[in-house]
A and B are shown apart, each in its own frame.
Chain A
Amino acid sequence: MGRTISEKILSEKSGTDARAGDMVIAPVDWVFVQDTTGPLTVKQFRESKHASLAKPQRTIIFLDHAVPSPNRQLSNDHQLLRQFAQENNCHIFEGGHGICHQLVAEKLASPGEIIVGADSHTVTAGGLSAFATGMGSSDVAVVFALGKTWFRVPETFKINLTGKFQKAVDAKDLVLYLIGKLGADGATYKALEFSGNAVASLTIPQRLTIANMAVEAGAKVGLFPSDDITKQYLQSQSRGTNYVPLYPDSDAIYELVIDINLAELEPMVAMPHAVDNVAPASSLAGTRIDQVFIGTCTNGRLYDLAIAAKILKSKKCHPNVRLIIAPASRKILLDAMKAGYIETFLQAGAMILPPGCAACVGIHQGILGDNEVCLSTANRNFKGRMGNPEALIYLASPATAAASAVTGEITDPRGLLR
């Protein structure tokens, strides 16, 4: 009987024949926290009887959610994490390096690895074929201490992708469509595994966007196969030796198969206050917006900024719209500067924020006013998410976000991106 990608990784790592529904204990290759989950992880770790980290070289701390710090309490949390990193000899990415998930993709994750992070969007690294999943602070503290954790081997939904995107339709539209189809709890406890002949045409930035949002359907992981695209990406980061091919067996068992023809998709928007509340962008024409936010672990990559820059080139933001752009990492910001995108954004009237989570989590840098409407490239639009329960958040692709920034209302970008 064949195995899914999840079953292959968990079998290899646990040394058992891991099948859907089994419970396994497996070593963790990378474990990380960020600045809003790290302090509780440190507290839990200190309450354990373990004095030292099991794998200090594989334990990472990221400061990304609240950088630069907006207040004294969060500054003190940053101090605590810096001190912990120093005492335990583990690596800390200071504020300004970028969002944890982007840095994991740029520097750490490799196919076949197990990655556990104290952040729900840890699933992003599934785009690089890592079994990567989010857990809470206690679970992560125990991985700090033991270097391993328990997993229930998930059943898998196969998402079979065929065809080619229309112009101005992209990975975000696909994943919003999929979440709309599955529902916000449609894949709870499950693995999403992307396959089909369209996968070979999806770049790593696109795969990361899709994997990133697997959790919005409740999934434990969102996995892509490891193929030539993966190999080229790792080689471009001088990590080519980490490449291993990884595909599901042809006779793997799937709980559900969903077929999606990319050519049939159109620009999609998630409406307030649920990610599965999706509709075509064209059906929301006339919805006025106050703020557009382009960035985050979902859509803050160079690939995304390039699309936004193409639309915003020689144009101005609508006078009633504030456009906020936050590159997902320092490397992306530098590359975007070299490519001229940052200049394009500034000329269009955008505010550029430092690499980090920025306005996504409601801590700072773009909190919405009462009854304000934001169109964001992030992954969540829950009530209160961006700091104000009286505000409304719509989610869309960078193309839709940029097009809408120009018109001042939700706009299908197909007319603007040629």
Chain B
Amino acid sequence: MTTTLIKGKAHKFGDNISTDLIIPGRYAHLRSSLPELAKHVMEDADPSFVAKAKPGDLIVAGKNFGLGSSREHAALVIKLAGISAVLAKSVARIFFRNAINQGLPVLICDTEKINDGDELEVDLKAGRIRNLTSNTELVFGKIPEVMLNIMHEGGLIPYINKYGDFKL
């Protein structure tokens, strides 16, 4: 089960962060060595990201996060880097499914007022994001129930292993 309370620091990115920026094709040879691959997460968007990111931290982005390739490795390496959730104004379709299928919460909200380095607290159950730095609160968009259930089981494979089928 995914924990329902998330706390960490915001790492701010802009609009249209592609899967090539998250994990480029030139590292395709590391895809069967996931911990090695994860050392390159977000490398072309911010080369210092891996060194800065601490377990529990959040990626906060603009619109259309994760556009491009279907490579689930993009969601997977973000999770392996210890990132607890992705907050974005909007997210590309395939990345959205991939992240939830890996048990990585992706929350759609107005990220405009979140600054790099802000301390955030997300209550997944209540649907609230508290910005502890600016002492403000945000709400995030509703996730389809099937995806919510997949996320709460920690991903699609644990979900299917538990239920044997999709429950809409």
Contacts and interface: CB of A to CB of B under 8 A. Distances in A.
Partners in one complex: yes
Interface of A: 23-25, 36-37, 39-40, 44, 47-49, 65-66, 70-74, 76-77, 80, 117-120, 122, 134-139, 141-142, 145-146, 148-150, 152, 184-185, 188-189, 218, 220, 274, 361-363, 367, 380, 382-385, 387-389
Contacts, number: 152
Contacts of B44: 383-384, 389
Contacts of B21: 382-384
Contact of A37 (B20, B26, B70, B165): B70
Given A188-B92, A274-B16, A362 B26 contact: yes
Contacts of A39: 31-32
Given A119-B70, A218-B92, A145 B29 contact: no
B160 A145 contact: yes
Contacts of A145: 160
Contact of B24 (A71, A73, A136, A362): A362
Interface in B72-100: 72-73, 75-76, 90, 92-94, 97-98
A39 to B, nearest CB: 5
A44 B165 CA distance: 16
Contact of A142 (B68, B76, B146, B156): B156
Given A136-B101, A138-B98, A185-B64, A384 B24 contact: yes
8 contacts: A36-B28, A139-B156, A142-B160, A184-B67, A185-B67, A218-B64, A380-B68, A384-B21
Nearest to B95: A136
Contacts of B30: 73
Contact of A136 (B31, B72, B160): B72
Contacts of B90: 185, 188
Contact of B31 (A36, A47, A189, A385): A36
A145 B73 CA distance: 20
Contacts of A363: 25-26, 28-29
A150 B101 CA distance: 13
B70 A150 contact: no
Interface of B: 16, 18, 20-21, 24-26, 28-33, 44, 63-64, 67-73, 75-76, 90, 92-94, 97-98, 101-102, 144, 146, 155-157, 160-161, 165-166, 168
A120 B68 contact: yes
A136 B157 contact: no
A387 B90 CA distance: 27
Contact of B16 (A71, A149, A184, A384): A184
Contacts of B18: 380, 382-383
A66 B31 CA distance: 13
A296 to B, nearest CB: 13
Contact of A77 (B31, B63, B94): B31
A363 B94 CA distance: 22
Given A138-B72, A150-B166, A385-B20, A71 B93 contact: no
